[in-house]
């Protein structure tokens, strides 16, 4: 990495953090709540609205059902919260759906859960950001045309924040989350207080009417189920706390469980309050303007929260801006739950060899940087593909959530059964199993409803994505296992090569070529030749002449290239000279390196291409002999003394000391006394030996 | 390149061609005319229209000036054609503006000409394609919304055709070019014949009126000059023949000169005919519908050629579709002039070290593939940026053309003067000089007019682009010169390294690591150590234990990485152990290679990053020891016997034989008898030596 690239990276993500700093990133409850519960709490900003939008398809009489559907949703929410509370206790190391189904339902179920969770995390970012921006432009209608750009901007900010590390985001998240909770509660309280005193607030859309009429029979049932399924978005994010148990301060499980219950209670009150208040204020909202009648000219439909806060506090009042501002912030930041969860899940999957191992490595700032970047990119892609529409994105959201809910809670039921088999049934255990059993059953039913009512509205994409992810993960696993079997060291060891044939690639007679020739002779190979690929007879003739004139004591071999390509003739030549299985060909490639990236563009990349191809030839090793041009600054030590160097002599099981104190490094690495080779004395040092003249 | 990539490439561009096939690509006159003159001839499809569009800004009375402005343009065209005819004779190796100004006006003028030409070539593609599509959608109005997509499609087709090679495109171009010439001449002839017989054709826009009124004073003059400048697009492409002299069949100069004169004559007749006929048919055309009155509902404005052919042959008649079809084809194909010219110019500049040298290499099919791809991409980018508007693109076109015209002809004047100084003045020489002098003067005046009247309409972009290209080329030249000075072999030669220290990077004890250790020991270094970067203490402990258990006779050195990074600790370690200037460190990197590109994604790229950084350390050579996994097929010979291998013994000036007959390669490359080293006998072959067990 050149300096020109390193400086902006450091400005953006901060200085690298030592591995030993990992312990510092534990969260107290007051910070864990905003970090892990912003998703679940913030989903109330759109859950009621999604119920209303579906019911509007059935006209005015159906919309009156809103509080009842909200009641069904909060009942389910209470069940799921209680169910997950038990997961916190049972899995103090993080009881994500993946871990729980892995332990109880086996490998395949756990991979389905993992695939569903990955889809969820992506959708959490996309939906939260889209809804946050929708609320933001409800307060500033002039920005409405730039919704998609605003979404991308928010995602970028989140990505960078998360690349900097968890702890900082915890602090940054506290104010918006608590601000949202307080401002919405104040709004609900003020609204109901006014209503009790006879001054019921009136929504700006109260005078509108609906064009649709109430359906009958099966269509009625389906509409109610669809509205319920849409309202279930309120449940998204409940699992975040149980995933995050290990990052809580001690006592971890107790703190996590309290946080979870707090979150459930706050969410239930909020969901119910918003549903009742929007019915009282006679709020009208619809997916398309065609569904509304009596619309005044220039009417711009705003979000449910914007209409409620305008009705309670007055439009463009301080209270209105507080609610809209905090809603935007908590939604934008709710996406952070996913930025916490996705990279950790991906790293666990990488550790288990179901995902590329690059996802399992912590970056400079102790976070799983690759996972963060992938999450941000995919979510941004979805926002662009769906043009930032919350309603369209939400169709993709709920399905994955309920797949992982159902699997996770079914896993818990199995967990309790196994527990009981080992220790016998106790009333407490039966109670625990019942709670999880009812939770699993309820979420499975909802999963069925979601699948039926949402399939054609976009959920089919998730029905495709989850199996695809599932098979990709299986395939990755098979690959890693096959590789690791092949890499396993055999008991027989490896035979030392008997002869080394050096081949030095030469294009012109210049300093880098002479250096490569000198280095090649220094290893004292059994045979040595210089190899020139003839693409231009005039230059080849010049090379031959210079070769003779300089009297170079290495033979020059010329192969012609009919197709002006360098790689194939070299490979053909090597394929011919490589004879015995115990022989090794060492190819020396002179390379000159320049300092600036733009200078790189001015030189052929043929060496890189050739080196890549040579890696596929058995019995060949490839040696680059670099020649640094003046613009290429040599490597300079940056953190002298930062590393501990410990030499381990063979035939002893000395463990390396883990502390970071610098240990002086000997000028020459230690050689083993008594080892038959290498021995420096074997080689006569010939100080005056020259190559070329 | 893996097979999965090679197969589609071969289908697209064909099999590779041998260098010896280069001579076959010479063009007879009947094919040279379409290849080199399609640009100049096809520009008549839009030149008159551009005059009309400008004059429409001055209303009906100004539009009547069209034939007079066309007369001025064709006079200039005749002058420039005669002027370039002399260039063909003076520079039989290709008298492009770059070569002529290089030879006569010096380096800086030639680089300005080169920059102007590169801009031209790009604009030729963009304008011709945009105008071709404009004519196409005049015939098929339903496709109008897809204009930009159609443009990109045409550019793609051209790029692929040109990647396949010149000769094939020559044949493909003959029919559209001759078809265009014939169909337009038939249209003009029929139109004038009918007019002579009293049935003057009437354009579909004859009943429209202009809203603008004639300007007065300076504004009038400026409008006339603007119209003239726009009409000068008719001259674009005249220089193509003189650039292409070397690709004509013998006698090259005579054939080129005849082709040029033919083209000039045909173009003059066509330009004049179209201008007169559009005045006779009372054609109305304007840049914006606001400038027209009396517009019927649903009126869609079509190109001048479409309106004329509809008026003469009847709308949607066979003649109408013939003219529109051939116009589209010749314009789409006129872009091919640039696809012939740009890559050759770029390769000449690369040869002279003003452009990256990758542009100077012929690809598989003997064409300069990189130049073709760059040209296609930039032109497509411009089409997208300017939304495919011919009128907006044309503002960028003419300036560059006249810069190169002026420089090229000024260069010719200097050429004749120098000729005269050497051989004395003759009347013929004075005549030649006068022709070029008048040409240079006229184009310089037009250049001034274009600069004044077009600057604010978009030409300022070219005024920026040409100096930028100029300075980039100077900078590239300086870089190559500095590098070549540094690479020059010094008289002193290079000292042989006295000691080699081997460092084998080890991450785990597996087969690739054991292979690397074996190979490292095989070169018998002065010292050897295995180096492990500790990022995970558990795995490091496991390695140490396995190391002892296997009793490996190479010491293991462990460096800790505080920041979980592999590269920096290795570099730090090497920086410390590297002591004397005569010592060399050889770093052995075990690498396992997989077969499929998607498998590559599953493995860390840290080896590649490390290798790149190591290239910047003085006194280090980097050796990759590859280990092929089963999915990685080893290299298989593809064209056995295709290459001639010639061994050149030192101390003799044997020239390599240039013919392509295969020469059997000895199983072991020839070593020099009597050379002090390398000698295989120095090394005891130890068949049973093992590393590990």
The answer to whether the Cβ–Cβ distance between B623 and A622 falls below 8 Å is yes
Segment B627-652 shows an average pLDDT of 50
Task: Look over chain B and give the mean of its residue pLDDT values, rounded to a whole number.
Answer: 82
Q: What is the pLDDT at residue A46?
A: 92
Alpha helices by DSSP H, B281-389: 304-313, 318-351, 369-385
Q: pLDDT tens for residues B245-301?
A: 888 888 888 999 999 999 999 999 999 999 999 999 999 999 888 888 888 888 888
Judged by DSSP in three states, B502 sits in strand
Last residue of a domain, one of B480, B512, B542: B480
**Contact status, residue A227 vs residue A47, Cβ threshold 8 Å:** no
Judged by DSSP in three states, B689 sits in coil
Q: Are residues B405 and B531 in the same domain?
A: no
pLDDT-based confidence at residue B468 (cuts at 50, 70, 90): very high
Residue A372: which of A13, A658, A1 has the closest Cα? A13
Q: What distances in angstroms separate CA B599 from CA A111, A134, B594, B629, one per listed residue?
A: 20, 41, 6, 11
The answer to whether the Cβ–Cβ distance between B691 and A601 falls below 8 Å is no
The residues pairing with B591 across neighbouring beta strands, listed in sequence order, are: B626
Q: What is the pLDDT at residue B181?
A: 94
Q: Does any domain span residue B11?
A: no
- Between CA A458 and CA A466, with CA A463 as vertex, the angle to 5 degrees is 125
Task: For chain A, state the CA radius of gyration.
Answer: 33
Of A362, A489, A682, the CB nearest to B524: A682
The answer to whether the Cβ–Cβ distance between B678 and A623 falls below 8 Å is no
Q: Are residues A607 and A468 in the same domain?
A: no
Residue A410: which of A134, A3, A97 has the closest Cα? A97
Q: How far apart are CA B159 and CA A316, in angstroms?
A: 58
Q: Are residues A423 and A521 in the same domain?
A: no
Last residue of a domain, one of A480, A511, A532: A480
Contacts of B691 in chain A (CB under 8 A): 493-494, 496
For chain B, how many structural domains are there in total? 2
Q: Are residues B539 and B568 in the same domain?
A: yes
Nearest CA-CA distance, residue B686 and chain A, Å: 7
Q: How far apart are CA A630 and CA A7, in angstroms?
A: 23
Q: Does any domain span residue B688?
A: no
pLDDT of B485 higher than 80: yes
Q: Are residues A156 and A261 in the same domain?
A: yes
Q: Does any domain span residue B48?
A: yes
Judged by DSSP in three states, B27 sits in strand
Nearest CA-CA distance, residue B691 and chain A, Å: 6
Q: Does any domain span residue B493?
A: no
Task: For chain B, state the CA radius of gyration.
Answer: 33
Segment B443-456 shows an average pLDDT of 90
Segment B489-501 shows an average pLDDT of 80
Residue A560: enclosing H or E segment and its boundaries?
Answer: strand A556-560
Residue A60: which of A283, A229, A216 has the closest Cα? A283
Total Cβ atoms within 10 A of residue A404: 26
What is the widest separation between alpha-carbon atoms in chain A?
Answer: 108
**Contact status, residue B21 vs residue B165, Cβ threshold 8 Å:** no
Last residue of a domain, one of A425, A452, A480: A480
CATH of the domain at A386: 1.20.1740.10
Q: Which residue of B has its CA nearest to A641?
A: B572
Judged by DSSP in three states, B437 sits in helix
Judged by DSSP in three states, B289 sits in helix
Q: Is B9 left (phi over 0), alpha (psi -120 to 50) or beta?
A: alpha
Query: How is B588-629 classified by DSSP, letter by letter?
Result: EEEEEE-SSHHHHHTS--HHHHHHHHHTTSTTEEEEEEEEE-
Q: How far apart are CA B237 and CA B233, in angstroms?
A: 9
The answer to whether the Cβ–Cβ distance between A645 and B547 falls below 8 Å is no
Percent of chain B with pLDDT over 70: 84
**Contact status, residue A76 vs residue A84, Cβ threshold 8 Å:** no
Q: How far apart are CA B386 and CA B381, in angstroms?
A: 9
The residues pairing with A587 across neighbouring beta strands, listed in sequence order, are: A503, A622
Q: Are residues A599 and A463 in the same domain?
A: no
The answer to whether the Cβ–Cβ distance between A527 and B671 falls below 8 Å is yes
Q: pLDDT tens for residues B544-587?
A: 998 888 888 889 999 988 777 788 888 888 888 766 778 889 99
The answer to whether the Cβ–Cβ distance between A527 and B361 falls below 8 Å is no
Segment B21-31 shows an average pLDDT of 69
Q: Are residues A411 and A559 in the same domain?
A: no
Q: How far apart are CA A474 and CA A471, in angstroms?
A: 5
Q: Which residue of A has its CA nearest to B587?
A: A623
Report the Cα A170 to chain-centroid distance in Å.
Answer: 18
Residue A308: which of A59, A48, A72, A63 has the closest Cα? A48
Name the DSSP class of A27. B
**Contact status, residue A591 vs residue A512, Cβ threshold 8 Å:** yes
Contacts of B543 in chain A (CB under 8 A): none
Q: Does any domain span residue B485?
A: no
**Contact status, residue A294 vs residue A2, Cβ threshold 8 Å:** no
**Contact status, residue A249 vs residue A27, Cβ threshold 8 Å:** yes
Q: Which residue of A has its CA nearest to B521?
A: A678
CATH of the domain at B549: 3.40.50.620
Q: How far apart are CA A185 and CA A312, in angstroms?
A: 12
Q: Does any domain span residue A488?
A: no
**Contact status, residue A303 vs residue A134, Cβ threshold 8 Å:** yes
- State how beta strands A499-505 and A583-593 pair: parallel
Q: What is the pLDDT at residue B632?
A: 63
Report the Cα A316 to chain-centroid distance in Å.
Answer: 38
The answer to whether the Cβ–Cβ distance between A616 and B628 falls below 8 Å is yes
Helix crossing, A166-196 with A29-42: angle to 10°? Answer: 60
**Contact status, residue B184 vs residue B48, Cβ threshold 8 Å:** no
Alpha helices by DSSP H, B43-106: 44-55, 59-63, 66-90, 97-105
Q: How far apart are CA A276 and CA A48, in angstroms?
A: 10
Q: Which residue of B has its CA nearest to A521?
A: B678
Q: Are residues B466 and B505 in the same domain?
A: no
**Interface size between A and B, measured as CB pairs under 8 A:** 486
Q: How far apart are CA B673 and CA B677, in angstroms?
A: 10
Q: Residue A65 class from Cβ within 10 Å (0-12 exposed, 13-18 middle, 19+ buried)?
A: middle
**Contact status, residue B533 vs residue B561, Cβ threshold 8 Å:** yes
Q: Are residues A454 and A524 in the same domain?
A: no
Q: Residue B684 class from Cβ within 10 Å (0-12 exposed, 13-18 middle, 19+ buried)?
A: exposed
Q: Are residues A570 and A430 in the same domain?
A: no
Q: How far apart are CA B187 and CA B183, in angstroms?
A: 6
Total Cβ atoms within 10 A of residue A22: 11
Q: How far apart are CA B459 and CA B452, in angstroms?
A: 10
Best probe of the B interface among A9, A552, A564, by most B CBs < 10 A, is A564
Best probe of the A interface among B572, B640, B654, B693, by most A CBs < 10 A, is B572
Residue A82: which of A437, A427, A415, A420 has the closest Cα? A437
Contacts of A556 in chain B (CB under 8 A): 647-648, 650
Nearest CA-CA distance, residue B109 and chain A, Å: 23
- Between CA A206 and CA A209, with CA A208 as vertex, the angle to 5 degrees is 120
Q: What is the pLDDT at residue B270?
A: 95
The residues pairing with A625 across neighbouring beta strands, listed in sequence order, are: A590
Q: Are residues B464 and B548 in the same domain?
A: no
Q: Which residue of B has its CA nearest to A484?
A: B510
Residue A335: which of A161, A458, A181 has the closest Cα? A161
Nearest CA-CA distance, residue B56 and chain A, Å: 37
Judged by DSSP in three states, B558 sits in strand
- State how beta strands B494-495 and A690-691 pair: antiparallel
**Contact status, residue B400 vs residue B462, Cβ threshold 8 Å:** yes
Q: Are residues B166 and B248 in the same domain?
A: yes
Q: Does any domain span residue B14?
A: no
State the complex-level ipTM: 0.70
Q: Does any domain span residue B41?
A: yes
Residue-number span of the structural domain to which B325 is assigned: 29-292+302-480
Q: How far apart are CA B299 and CA B204, in angstroms?
A: 10
Contacts of A84 (CB under 8 A, 6+ apart): A238, A239, A241, A242, A260, A408
Residue A584: which of A620, A612, A543, A622 has the closest Cα? A620
Q: How far apart are CA A306 and CA A292, in angstroms?
A: 18
Segment B614-629 shows an average pLDDT of 87
Helix crossing, B606-614 with B567-577: angle to 10°? Answer: 30
Query: Phi and psi for A677 in degrees, rounded to 5?
Result: -150, 160
pLDDT-based confidence at residue B395 (cuts at 50, 70, 90): confident
Helix crossing, A147-164 with A318-351: angle to 10°? Answer: 50
The answer to whether the Cβ–Cβ distance between A573 and B491 falls below 8 Å is no
| Ranges of chain A with pLDDT below 70 | 1-25, 95, 165-172, 363-367, 578-579, 597, 600-602, 604-605, 631-693
Judged by DSSP in three states, A580 sits in coil
**Contact status, residue B413 vs residue B440, Cβ threshold 8 Å:** yes
Q: pLDDT tens for residues B655-679?
A: 333 333 333 333 333 333 333 333 3
Name the DSSP class of B662. -
**Contact status, residue B616 vs residue A635, Cβ threshold 8 Å:** yes
């Amino acid at each position: 990495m050149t300096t020109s690239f390193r400086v902006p990276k450091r400005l953006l993500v901060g200085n690298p953090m030592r591995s030993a700093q990992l312990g510092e990133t534990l969260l107290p409850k007051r910070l864990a709540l905003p970090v892990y519960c912003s998703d679940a709490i913030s989903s109330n900003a759109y859950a009621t609205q999604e119920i209303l939008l579906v019911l509007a398809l059935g006209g005015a009489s159906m919309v009156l059902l809103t509080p009842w559907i909200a009641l069904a949703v909060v009942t389910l929410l209470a069940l799921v919260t209680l169910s997950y509370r038990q997961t916190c206790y049972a899995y103090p190391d993080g009881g994500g759906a993946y871990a729980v189904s892995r332990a109880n339902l086996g490998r395949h179920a756990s991979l389905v859960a993992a695939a569903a969770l990955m889809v969820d995390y992506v959708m959490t970012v996309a939906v939260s950001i889209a809804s946050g921006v929708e609320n933001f432009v409800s307060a500033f209608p002039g920005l409405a045309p730039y919704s998609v750009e605003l979404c991308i901007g928010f995602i970028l900010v989140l990505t960078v924040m998360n690349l900097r590390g968890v702890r900082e985001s915890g602090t940054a998240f506290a104010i918006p989350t608590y601000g949202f909770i307080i401002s919405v509660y104040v709004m609900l309280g003020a609204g109901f207080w006014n209503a009790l005193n006879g001054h019921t607030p009136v929504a700006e859309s109260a005078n509108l009417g609906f064009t649709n009429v109430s359906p009958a029979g099966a269509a009625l049932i389906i509409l109610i189920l669809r509205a319920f399924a849409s309202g279930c978005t309120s449940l998204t994010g409940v699992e975040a706390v149980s995933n995050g148990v290990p990052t809580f301060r001690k006592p971890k499980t107790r703190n996590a469980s309290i946080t979870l219950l707090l979150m459930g209670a706050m969410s239930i009150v909020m969901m119910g309050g918003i549903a009742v208040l929007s019915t009282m204020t006679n709020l009208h909202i619809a997916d398309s303007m065609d569904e509304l009648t009596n619309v005044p000219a220039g009417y711009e439909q705003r979000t449910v929260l914007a209409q409620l806060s305008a009705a309670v506090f007055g439009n463009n009042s301080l209270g209105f801006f507080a609610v809209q501002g905090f809603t935007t912030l908590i939604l934008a930041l709710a996406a952070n739950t996913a930025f916490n969860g996705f990279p950790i899940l991906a790293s666990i999957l990488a550790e288990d060899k179901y995902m590329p191992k690059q996802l399992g490595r912590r970056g400079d700032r102790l976070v799983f940087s690759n996972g963060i970047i992938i999450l941000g990119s995919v979510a941004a892609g979805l926002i662009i593909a769906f043009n930032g529409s919350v309603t369209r994105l939400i169709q993709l959201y709920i399905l994955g959530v309920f797949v992982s809910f159902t699997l996770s809670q079914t896993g818990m039921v199995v967990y309790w059964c196994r527990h009981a088999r080992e220790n016998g049934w106790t009333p407490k255990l039966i109670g625990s199993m019942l709670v999880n059993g009812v939770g699993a059953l309820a979420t499975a039913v909802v999963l069925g409803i979601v699948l039926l009512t949402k399939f054609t509205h976009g959920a089919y994409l998730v029905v495709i994505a989850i199996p695809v992810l599932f098979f990709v993960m299986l395939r990755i696993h098979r690959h890693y296992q096959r590789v690791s079997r092949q890499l396993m060291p055999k008991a027989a060891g490896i035979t030392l090569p008997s002869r080394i044939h050096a081949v030095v690639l030469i294009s012109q007679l210049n300093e880098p070529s002479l250096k490569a020739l000198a280095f090649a002779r220094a290893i004292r190979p059994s045979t040595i030749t210089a190899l020139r690929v003839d693409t231009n007879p005039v230059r080849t003739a010049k090379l031959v002449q210079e070769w003779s004139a300089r009297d170079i004591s290495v033979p020059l071999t010329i192969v012609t290239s009919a197709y002006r390509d360098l790689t194939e003739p070299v490979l053909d030549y090597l394929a011919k000279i490589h004879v015995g299985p115990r022989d090794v060909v060492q190819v020396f490639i002179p390379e000159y390196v320049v300092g600036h990236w733009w200078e790189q563009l001015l030189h052929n990349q043929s060496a890189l291409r050739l080196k890549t191809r040579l890696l596929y030839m058995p019995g060949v090793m490839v040696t680059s002999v670099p020649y640094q041009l003046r613009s290429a600054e040599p490597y300079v030590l940056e953190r002298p003394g930062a590393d501990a160097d410990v030499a381990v002599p063979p035939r002893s099981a000395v463990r390396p000391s883990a502390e970071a104190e610098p240990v002086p490094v000997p000028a020459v690495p230690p050689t083993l006394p008594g080892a038959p080779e290498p021995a420096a004395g074997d080689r006569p040092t010939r100080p005056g030996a020259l190559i070329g003249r």
